[in-house]
């Protein structure tokens, strides 16, 4: 049985659709209404508020905290200064990705790692010999994400932290309403947005304060169905969907390297040894076999395929997560693992893992598309990610 999150008392009342799902053992709202339009456009045009408490959280403290995390992560966390956040992944000894998440340096020798799956044991295994304490704070800290162009205006009404100074991927501590909170300029929507971290006992007060502040700015509580749409627009992969934890994979081919999931920019190779370093270095020298890329499905071709069956074209209203083969000239070269119709861009988008050398931008591919129970191939092109990248995200 899933458990309620600290915000449940509020979200349950608002969730008139009764559409829930389980997220890491918590009850999580899929969408507050039976259709997701309002939530989607709130994220993109106003602000959406979403409970992301179920993310796993690990607080790492102690004299060696930075050095220890530098050993775990593909990125050199030892250099992460107070008040900064970074995003990266970590791998096993063979350089195969276990999980990805953010690392925030809240204070001197105090970091918080987020992850999609439980990671305490893995962190503790590596921690031997380091002067660190690792605590699973998942059940102690409530987290909200406020995302969208109005997010700053709304949040600034409620907090004493100067948000004009809180730049992209920065963190600050302060007060919201009367509660102590941490705020990071991060999120999973690819838009201007913040995540608010607070001890569970403050959850309801913080929720109310943000919702109140947002009332005149068209704030909307949002659920996971909408988050899945916007994260694809933002080009963000999802653990367990677009790639898998190496430790739970049954065969080698199911595992991914940081390069394969397009996190090459996060890998910092030339430094003190870290887990997977040698294998990642060898892979770099050898060449990467496949990459997670963005696909844009051709509207004209999609329309043609539906027309062949005498049907008007149809596109999904929600993000899909069932993998679909990707071809080049009839031969399978990979698979699309999630896709969505972007209402803003008017484009049908997908994230796909494609074998080299077919994974370069501009390559013409095809994706399997079922029309009227028939498998067809629709034209798709490798395009840069993020698909949607507004200036306000960083501004």
Torsion-angle region of residue 372: left (phi > 0), alpha (psi -120 to 50) or beta? left
User: Residues with Cβ < 8 Å from 393, sequence gap 6 or more?
Assistant: 168, 190, 191, 192, 193
* Least gap, CB of 186 to other proteins (angstroms): 22
From the CB of residue 313, how many other CB atoms can be counted at a distance below 10 Å? 14
Residue number with CB closer to other proteins (72 or 209): 209
Using the minimum distance from each CB to other proteins, give the nearer residue, 303 or 368: 303
Neighbouring CB atoms inside 10 A of 16's CB total: 9
Shortest Cβ 37–other proteins spacing (Å): 5
Give me the least distance between CB of 328 and other proteins, in Å please: 23
- Which of residues 38 and 377 has its CB atom nearest to other proteins in the complex? 38
Nearer to other proteins, 313 or 325 (CB): 313
Instruction: Name the minimum Å distance from CB 174 to other proteins.
Output: 25
Question: What are the structure tokens assigned to 195, written together?
Answer: 């995540």
Answer whether the bond into residue 51 is a cis peptide, omega within 30°.
no
Tokens encoding 10 = 């509020």
| Closer by beta carbon to other proteins, 311 or else 364 | 311
Considering the complex, state which of residue 68 and residue 306 has its C-beta at the smaller distance from other proteins: 306
Task: Return the sign of the alpha-carbon dihedral for residues 313, 317, 322, 323.
Answer: positive
Chain centre to alpha carbon of residue 130: 30
Q: What backbone torsions phi and psi does residue 299 show, to the nearest 5 degrees?
A: -65, -45
Q: Is the Cβ–Cβ distance between 239 and 117 less than 8 Å?
A: yes
Least distance from other proteins to the Cβ atom of residue 262, Å: 22
| Phi, then psi, of 70 in degrees rounded to 5 | -65, -30
Catalog residues that contact other proteins under the rule CB under 8 A.
Answer: 33-35, 37-38, 41, 44-46, 150, 216-218, 299, 303, 307, 310-313, 315, 317, 341, 343-347, 388, 390
Q: Give the distance from CA 243 to its chain's centroid.
A: 12
CB of 36 to other proteins, least distance (A): 10
Supply the minimum distance, in Å, between the C-beta of residue 12 and other proteins.
20
- The residue among 128 and 346 lying less far from other proteins, judged by its C-beta, is 346
**Smallest distance from other proteins to CB 95, Å:** 36
Q: In sequence order, what are the residues at sequence separation of 6 or more whose Cβ sits closer than 8 angstroms to the Cβ of residue 338?
A: 228, 232, 238, 241, 242, 319, 320, 321, 350, 351
Report the residue number, 273 or 312, with the smaller CB distance to other proteins.
312
As given in the structure block, the two tokens for residue 299 are: 């509207």
């Amino acid at each position: 049985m899933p458990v309620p999150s600290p915000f449940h008392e509020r979200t349950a009342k608002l969730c008139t659709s009764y559409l829930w799902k389980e997220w890491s053992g918590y009850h999580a709202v899929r969408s507050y209404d039976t259709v997701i339009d309002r939530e989607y456009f709130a994220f993109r045009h106003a602000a959406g508020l979403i409970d992301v408490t179920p993310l796993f959280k690990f607080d790492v403290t102690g004299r060696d905290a930075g050095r220890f995390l530098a050993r775990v992560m593909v990125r050199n966390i030892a250099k992460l200064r107070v008040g900064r956040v970074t995003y990266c992944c970590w791998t096993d000894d063979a350089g195969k990705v276990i999980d990805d998440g953010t690392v925030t340096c809240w204070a001197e020798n105090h970091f918080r790692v987020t992850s999609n799956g439980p990671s305490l044991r893995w962190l503790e295994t590596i921690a031997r010999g380091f002067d660190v304490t690792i605590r699973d704070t998942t059940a102690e800290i409530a987290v909200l994400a406020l995302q969208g162009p109005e997010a700053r205006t709304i949040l600034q009404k409620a907090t004493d932290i100067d948000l004009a100074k809180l730049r992209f991927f920065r963190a600050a501590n302060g007060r919201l309403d009367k509660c102590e909170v941490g705020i990071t300029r991060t999120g999973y929507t690819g838009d201007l947005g913040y995540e608010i971290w607070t001890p569970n006992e403050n959850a309801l007060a913080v929720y109310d304060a943000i919702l109140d502040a947002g009332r005149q700015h068209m704030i909307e509580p949002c659920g996971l169905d909408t988050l899945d749409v916007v994260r694809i627009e933002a080009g963000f992969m999802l653990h367990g969907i677009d790639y898998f934890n190496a430790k739970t994979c049954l065969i080698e081919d199911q595992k991914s390297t940081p390069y394969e999931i397009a996190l090459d920019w996060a890998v910092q190779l030339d430094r003190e040894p870290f887990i997977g370093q040698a294998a990642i270095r060898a892979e770099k020298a050898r060449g990467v076999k496949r990459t997670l890329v963005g696909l844009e499905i051709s509207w004209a071709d999609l329309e043609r395929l539906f027309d062949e069956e005498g049907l008007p074209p149809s596109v999904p209203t929600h993000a899909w997560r069932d993998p679909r083969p990707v071809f080049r000239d009839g031969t399978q070269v990979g698979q699309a693992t999630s896709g969505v119709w972007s209402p803003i861009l008017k484009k049908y988008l997908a994230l796909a893992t494609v074998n080299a050398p077919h994974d370069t931008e501009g390559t013409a591919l095809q994706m399997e598309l079922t029309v009227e129970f028939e498998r067809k191939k629709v034209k798709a092109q490798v395009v840069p990610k993020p698909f949607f990248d507004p200036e306000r995200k960083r501004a």
